[in-house]
């Protein structure tokens, strides 16, 4: 086993330790995970540019892909999101609503159980959290998954949470229309019109 010695600003290290502690990790574990991801992805496991990536809705992929050509050429784990993954996301979200886990840890759990990209799991859980709180979203999930999850909210969490989710979708449409290429915002707007009338 190799050992590694690095120099880092004390304030940065202290803040990182706080964050990692909240995730149930220490610095050594986090660095090990980071280096493993670099080895697996053959590059840094995060965008390294001054410009934030633009996301596009794409039903054939994860629902999120970077529009920058250089970023697209980077190798990354692009697992297809399956029904099993979405069901596990929902079960993790139910645990979250009962106070039985944080989004970060639950994302890791979903990833471990199903092979879903951890970043995608985090986005799905964050979108769900914002939906039931009635808060706008700036990320997207596949539209068919969004419809499925909206049905789950209505059927399992009740009308009040469903109305919050509709409110969240309506508030998110302007952002999505501006930032997300494709028809995602139009589909969501049509969904909101249809279900507001029910």
Domain positions in the chain are 7-46, 82-198
| pLDDT tens-digit series, residues 128-141 | 999 999 999 988 89
DSSP line for 77-135: --PPP-HHHHHHHHHHHHHHHTTS--HHHHHHHHHHHH---HHHHHHHHHHHHHHHHT-
CA distance 60 to 102: 29
| pLDDT tens-digit series, residues 39-94 | 877 777 766 544 444 444 443 333 443 333 333 333 334 568 889 999 999 999 99
């Amino acid at each position: 086993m190799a050992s590694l010695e690095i120099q880092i600003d004390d304030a940065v290290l202290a803040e990182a330790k706080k964050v990692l502690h909240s995730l149930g990790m220490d610095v050594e574990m986090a660095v090990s995970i980071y280096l493993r991801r670099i080895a697996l992805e053959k590059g840094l496991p995060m965008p390294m540019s001054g410009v934030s990536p633009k996301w596009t809705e794409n039903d054939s992929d994860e629902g999120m892909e970077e529009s920058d050509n250089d970023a697209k050429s980077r190798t990354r784990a692009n697992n297809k999101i399956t029904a099993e993954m979405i069901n596990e996301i929902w079960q993790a979200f139910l645990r979250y609503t009962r106070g039985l886990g944080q989004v970060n840890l639950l994302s890791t759990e979903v990833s471990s159980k199903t092979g879903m990209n951890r970043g995608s799991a985090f986005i799905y859980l964050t979108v769900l959290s914002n939906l039931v709180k009635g808060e706008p979203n700036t990320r997207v999930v596949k539209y068919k998954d969004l419809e499925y999850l909206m049905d789950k909210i209505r059927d399992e969490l009740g009308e009040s949470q469903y109305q919050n989710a509709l409110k969240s979708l309506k508030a998110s449409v302007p952002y999505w229309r501006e930032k997300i290429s494709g028809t995602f915002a139009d589909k969501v707007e049509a969904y909101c019109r249809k279900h507001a009338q029910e």
